Structure 1
């Protein structure tokens, strides 16, 4: 499979088209290998759109990189032009490994691309002849990313709280380092996470981290086989030192 590193631009304007569904799961084999998406132009201008897929990789600190996927999917059509209010169906078919050992994560990128428009320049004098040029409207481009998961049978996430530890940042402030690991074969979203911390020096000193303290954790995605580290300020209610942690997550 040929892969090229990509930097996907963020949305530059209000949505000019809709993609339904916004996320999808495909089977690696059988009748579930194909999914149909509907792309609708909700703007007042003609839009040109191209569709392609990228493979997702997320490092331990949550930084995501994407690589263009050329051989694992068939997309038809890969480019479309939509008039205002017009919609078009797009078929996405998995043609990659029919037996992946775990869930595979991708993005389907639906990207608005500029449309060259011929323009005619007005002559400054009667003797001058009109000349043609090309004007490209790039003032309002929009990109949509939809999560695509290739899901073999019997996959399951298995999230564990691998460790909690203390560290000081560059300013000397105390911080709590929380390390999760997904040992399973499917991704896990961190929703309604509850972490209880108990001081190893005093078993009577325990706290449950608040939603505000865990704001950077809530909703984050840990892909199959991945680790994810979160660093938050050390809780003022707990003495600095070694702690024991238990976790509950809404699955």
Structure 2
């Protein structure tokens, strides 16, 4: 299907970030963090979570853990602020041998009676290792890549519930983002812009559902497109919509005309 190939070409995750910082060093190290999305309660037995960090390469890997509070704008822009005081993290730092694994425990110690969901990044940051001497003539290039893996952690009141509905759905020709590894803008995309409004006090992960779009094409003929959950993940990541907030998403679904589009969620 055209929707599948378009989604794959424009894949990007909203809440999963892999950042590489280049320095001088002898080898390239990498890590794995799992899971990448966690949800816990603000009080009770479910107010804690665990993530596992794994060293995938042949050298030792020192790391540290930081917590960042997230605030989402309607268009998905994120404002980050330090929030290490909201969690007890154990261990907050460590060093893994080649192939080693470390389970990190995260305990919420913030306000147990928060009114709505709150979103955080758990940033696992690889630290630099001591440099090895270069070649005798000083011309040997040495590069180290430091990985910064971020897992999304959402804290919610135990009894909170989401209440999400489409606020606006319409055809839009838009500029897709630059693809990873490229410096050129992709061609303009015929697609659909969807704004979702959450009137509940709990966040929602809207890529957990299929989305059905119904309307008319440019010739006035009936058109229906079902976008499956796995396709949505490739296009919008988790589809995170904050409590008492809105998010706008763009999908590369071509063919709709200018008339209103009806949207429903399907399982």
Q: TM-score, normalised to structure 2's length?
A: 0.67
Matched, 1:149 2:154: yes
Any conservation in 2 of the 1:197–1:244 contact (CA below 8 Å)?
A: yes
Aligned residue pair count? 224
> Relative CO higher for 1 or 2, CA cutoff 8 Å, sep ≥ 6?
2
Q: Separation in 2 of the partners of 1:174 and 1:32?
A: 43
Match of 1:229?
248
Q: Which of 97, 106, 109 is 2:111 aligned to?
A: 97
Q: Separation in 1 of the partners of 2:125 and 2:239?
A: 24
Report SS of the residue matched to 1:207.
strand
Mark the structure with the bigger radius of gyration.
Answer: 1
Q: Which runs of 5+ in 1 are unaligned?
A: 1-7, 125-136
Which moves more between the two structures, 83-92 or 43-52? Answer: 83-92
Any conservation in 2 of the 1:193–1:218 contact (CA below 8 Å)?
A: no
Matched, 1:192 2:210: yes
Match of 1:133?
none
Q: Separation in 2 of the partners of 1:233 and 1:42?
A: 35
Matched, 1:10 2:29: no
Q: Larger helix proportion, structure 1 or 2?
A: 2
Q: Separation in 2 of the partners of 1:145 and 1:94?
A: 17
Q: Which of 198, 205, 208 is 2:224 aligned to?
A: 208
Residues 32-181 of structure 1 mapped to structure 2, 5 A cutoff: 32-117=46-131, 139-165=144-170, 177-181=193-197
Sort the Cα spacing of 1:246 and 1:39 in 2 relative to 1 into closer, same or farther, 3 A. Answer: closer
1:116: how far off? 2.7
Any conservation in 2 of the 1:159–1:183 contact (CA below 8 Å)?
A: yes
Q: Separation in 2 of the partners of 1:164 and 1:219?
A: 19
Matched, 1:183 2:199: yes
Q: Separation in 2 of the partners of 1:166 and 1:20?
A: 37
Q: Separation in 1 of the partners of 2:91 and 2:172?
A: 52
Q: Separation in 2 of the partners of 1:85 and 1:207?
A: 51
Q: Deviations over 1:161-215 (max 9, x none)?
A: 1123467879xx987543211222222323321111259xx8xx43213549988
1:28: how far off? 1.3
Q: Separation in 2 of the partners of 1:167 and 1:235?
A: 9
Q: TM-score, normalised to structure 1's length?
A: 0.71
Q: Separation in 1 of the partners of 2:83 and 2:128?
A: 23
Sort the Cα spacing of 1:27 and 1:244 in 2 relative to 1 into closer, same or farther, 3 A. Answer: closer
Match of 1:24?
38
1:144: how far off? 1.5
Match of 1:220?
239
Any conservation in 1 of the 2:69–2:83 contact (CA below 8 Å)?
A: yes
Report SS of the residue matched to 2:114.
coil
Sort the Cα spacing of 1:219 and 1:22 in 2 relative to 1 into closer, same or farther, 3 A. Answer: closer
1:92: how far off? 1.3
1:99: how far off? 0.8
